[in-house]
Amino acid sequence: MPRADWQVALAITAALRVFYSGAAAVAAVFLHPDARLIHSNALTENLPALHGWHYALLGIWQRFDTLWYLRIAERGYDRPMAVIFYPLYPAAIRLVSWLTRGLMPAMAAALLISTAAAFFFFWGLLRLADFSLTGTGRLRMLLLVAVWPASFALFAGYAESLTIALIVWAVVFARAGRWWPSVLCGFLAGLGRPSGVLVTVPLCILALRSRRAAPLVAFFTPLGLLSYWGWLRWSGRLSVVEAYRLYQGMVLAPPWVGVWESLRAPVARQDALLAIRLGLIVLVLAFSLRREVRLEDKLFALAVILQMLVYSGRPAIGTVRYLLPVYPSFLALGNYAQRRWNGKQFGLYVVAFGFLNLAWMWAFLNWSLVL
């Protein structure tokens, strides 16, 4: 008897949580990050000691953006650069810490939230794949998501899994005609990450296609992101765009500028990592535009990729992680895998993607790669 979607999602979530926690704990024994490299990053003044069980299980995940989310959860937006990090994830960390009466450290709360959100992401993907993939295709799709380069970020102290889960369930609810839960998910996604607001695209297309009045609430989806931007202006803080310019060296520019930078940089810098990132963008775009992909999903994928390219100055920064919300590419990749790849071919791609994923994770834990 086939397992229910939620059971399959729960099984893979539990397995990946155990695997990534175990891999990070083992890495903690062998990694000896350069102190100068660590302290060249922000908010590294009070990191936990680099030894012991607490560090192996929790402290080793305190890297880069995670430090900002933890600080915002504790102190709010007390530094100008903090506005880059949207409020939903730190608010969730603060809520979980409060509900546990402080018994759960903030880092543990962050990992718990990411893990729970990853479960809903996997479950939502299976719901979206209900009619297009067989049992084999659905399993292959999940495995490809699990080994996708930088997919470990779904289980780290990052906002990705929470935002992506909300995006996917917004679409699931919309296709089922449940517009209020759909819009609520879309509203919250806009408070999670900038890519979250782009779920407005498929929701509005589905609403217009229904030709009824009730689905028009989908047009309120952007209010999540707009309310955050409005609060920043009302409170006298920097805008997100200005903060990126001042603290990240990234300037808002037409997408073709970002495309040109991304194409030129791997050759000009002779940077293999940039070339891999560019190749993954092309791969995701190609699968997202396949014939079997729905129109609203194609437009969502294009919107996410264009959003990645509207800043110039740091070409393809964070590319692999920013591709994770492009759920149509994973659905199409699962469809392709079930029809075109035999077991050996599929295994080869899983190993290749898995190797890149673990290499990215190793570099991330060693403070040598900004995710």
Separation CA 287–CA 267 (nearest Å) = 25
pLDDT tens digit sequence for 105-116 = 999 999 999 999
The phi-psi region of residue 43 (left if phi > 0; otherwise alpha if psi is between -120 and 50; otherwise beta) is left
Whose tokens are 């192996």? That residue is 56
Q: What is the pLDDT of residue 161?
A: 97
Half-sphere exposure of 90 toward its Cβ, with a 13 Å CA cutoff?
Answer: 20
Separation CA 150–CA 153 (nearest Å) = 6
Tell me which DSSP letter residue 252 carries.
E
DSSP H helical ranges for 309-342: 319-322, 327-340
Provide the b/e sequence for 278-307 (b: ≥16 CB within 10 Å).
bebbeebbebbeeeebbebbbbbbbbbbeb
317, 265 contact by CB (below 8 A): no
Task: Find residue 90's DSSP bridge partners.
Answer: none
pLDDT tens digit sequence for 304-351 = 999 988 877 665 666 788 999 999 999 999 999 988 888 889 999 999
- State whether residue 312 is helix, strand or coil: strand
Separation CA 52–CA 21 (nearest Å) = 14
pLDDT at residue 22 tops 90: yes
Domain ranges of the chain: 5-247+342-365, 248-340
Burial of 211 (0-12, 13-18, 19+ CB in 10 A): exposed
Paired tokens of 189: 């996604």
Predicted confidence band of residue 210 (pLDDT cuts 50, 70, 90)? confident
Predicted confidence band of residue 135 (pLDDT cuts 50, 70, 90)? confident
Separation CA 47–CA 25 (nearest Å) = 16
Predicted confidence band of residue 45 (pLDDT cuts 50, 70, 90)? confident
